[in-house]
Amino acid sequence: MTGNRAVVYNKPGSVEIRDTAYPDLILRDGPGVNPLNVGRKCEHGVILKVVTTNICGSDQHMVRGRTTAPSGLILGHEITGEVIEVGRDVEFIQKGDLVSVPFNIACGRCRNCKERHTNVCLNVNPDRPGSAYGYVDMGGWVGGQSEYVMVPYADFQLLKFPDKAQAMEKILDLTMLSDIFPTGYHGAVSAGVRPGSTVYVAGAGPVGLAAAHSAQLLGAAVVIVGDLNAERLAQAKSFGCETVNLREHANLAEQIEQILGTPEVDCAIDCVGFEAHGHGKAHGEAPATVLNSIMEVTRAGGSLGIPGLYVTGDPGAVDEDSKIGTLKIRFGLGWAKSHTFVTGQTPVMKYHRDLMMAILSGRAQIAKAVNATKISLEDAHSAYQEFDRGVSRKFVIDPHGLVR
């Protein structure tokens, strides 16, 4: 094998397919690779033939130019693939295995990994705890929106599907295990969703839809999804959610009261993040809007799950404070209501096996919930454009034409 093709961030608003090097078991220099990571040997890793790799809203932030991502960065942290080469130190994963790759890279050896905080591994990113494939400031591990990709720490990280034929039948569901499904589920768990809960989910993008479906799996009595996008709200309604259109009706508490008879919910999940907009027809970008609104509508003693992405560097922010992640949050309100906040990357490995079993048993229908839509590698540019316009689809790249 000598070649590879990948989706590469070119400039704000633009991605392209480029010929790139076939991966090997070493992290070589390239766009975004931390100098201290260059030359890391990965005999504990594997090479995957990518079966599916998804476009994520976090990728879209970079493509919009809202991060410091360098031109030439190979994108993609939602990866499912077949093992075609194993490193010398890999003991249990074998050639031919079909596996899901957690988006957070974790060594399995450090204190955080041993305590199941694989979202903040101490050994994979010289800049700060935590890493991911194909993402800015995450150490420079090469992304998986490509034909082939290298995955380190294979024995620890990879989730092997027990039956390849069965897995391929459900691959559009199983591809969501690398990020979006565990992320939505983590948001729901962090918010304290339990049987009988009333839940508000801010944002009807793919993560919001995954969080809403997760809340249903956890037994929520009512799941309310809010967004400015009518098409995305229709998708949420298609699998049993209540919805509120915040473009048409700016007062969230009033809309919740119309549904529940009370203006508060038991718990709330922020699936929007730092590119949040204000409510109403004349809305503009206001990055603290969602955090403040979910504090307002969550009952005293409730919890807020915050899987939505917030960053420390946003060159396109609306003000100087927001450019470094400083937001005008009504923290006093949250304190007065004794709210619990849970933030940060999702520790995928805490959830992915259970969610795999929910998919294989037919209990979870995540592909239907997020409107999974298969595309080719060549379709990636147009898919990013459609996603940016707010289409209600979760784009799944099938680089080798393996998905029926």
Q: Where are the domains of the chain?
A: 3-179+349-397, 180-343
Predicted confidence at residue 268, as pLDDT, reads 98
The overall average pLDDT reported for the chain is 96
Predicted confidence at residue 100, as pLDDT, reads 98
Predicted confidence at residue 96, as pLDDT, reads 98
Predicted confidence at residue 129, as pLDDT, reads 97
Does residue 317 carry a pLDDT above 60? Answer: yes
pTM for the whole structure: 0.96
* Alpha-carbon span 392 to 156, nearest angstrom: 34
Predicted confidence at residue 313, as pLDDT, reads 87
Predicted confidence at residue 143, as pLDDT, reads 98
Predicted confidence at residue 130, as pLDDT, reads 96
> Which of residues 284 and 37 earns the better pLDDT score?
37
**Mean pLDDT for the stretch of residues 210-230:** 98
Q: Are 296 and 262 in contact (CB under 8 A)?
A: no
Share of the chain above pLDDT 70, in %: 100
Predicted confidence at residue 189, as pLDDT, reads 98
User: At CA 289, angle to CA 179 and CA 309, rounded to 5?
Assistant: 20
User: Maximum CA pair distance of the chain?
Assistant: 63
pLDDT tens digit string along 99-117? 999 999 999 999 999 999 9
Looking at the DSSP bridge assignments, the partners of residue 139 are none
Neighbour tally for 381: CB within 10 Å: 15
Predicted confidence at residue 124, as pLDDT, reads 98
Q: What is the DSSP string of 232-277?
A: HHHHHHHTT-EEEETTT---HHHHHHHHHSSS-EEEEEE-S-TT-B
> Which of residues 280 and 255 earns the better pLDDT score?
255
Helix axes 289-297, 252-260, angle to 10 degrees: 40
CA distance to 208, 276, 286, 292, 297, per residue, from 327 (Å): 22, 11, 9, 10, 19
Listed in sequence order, the residues at least 6 apart from 257 whose beta carbon sits closer than 8 Å to its beta carbon are: 263
Does residue 1 carry a pLDDT above 70? Answer: no
β-pairing, 372-375 with 265-270?
unpaired
β-pairing, 40-41 with 98-101?
unpaired
Which two structure tokens, joined as six digits, stand for 369? 């919930």
Which two structure tokens, joined as six digits, stand for 259? 């549904």
Does residue 42 carry a pLDDT above 70? Answer: yes
* Alpha-carbon span 219 to 327, nearest angstrom: 33
Q: What is the DSSP string of 309-330?
A: ---S--TT-SSHHHHTT-----
Topology of domain 180-343 in CATH is Rossmann fold (3.40.50)
Predicted confidence at residue 283, as pLDDT, reads 81
**pLDDT band of 95, cuts 50, 70, 90:** very high
Predicted confidence at residue 348, as pLDDT, reads 98
Domain at 3-179+349-397: CATH code:
3.90.180.10
**Mean pLDDT for the stretch of residues 3-31:** 96
Predicted confidence at residue 282, as pLDDT, reads 75
* Alpha-carbon span 361 to 377, nearest angstrom: 30
Q: Are 111 and 128 in contact (CB under 8 A)?
A: no
Q: Are 43 and 97 in contact (CB under 8 A)?
A: no
Instruction: Please count the helices (runs of H) and the strands (runs of E) in the chain.
Output: 15, 17
Phi-psi region of 243 (alpha: psi -120 to 50; beta: other; left: phi over 0): beta
* Alpha-carbon span 60 to 309, nearest angstrom: 11
Predicted confidence at residue 91, as pLDDT, reads 98
Choose among 241, 256, 242: nearest CA to 293: 256
Predicted confidence at residue 281, as pLDDT, reads 84
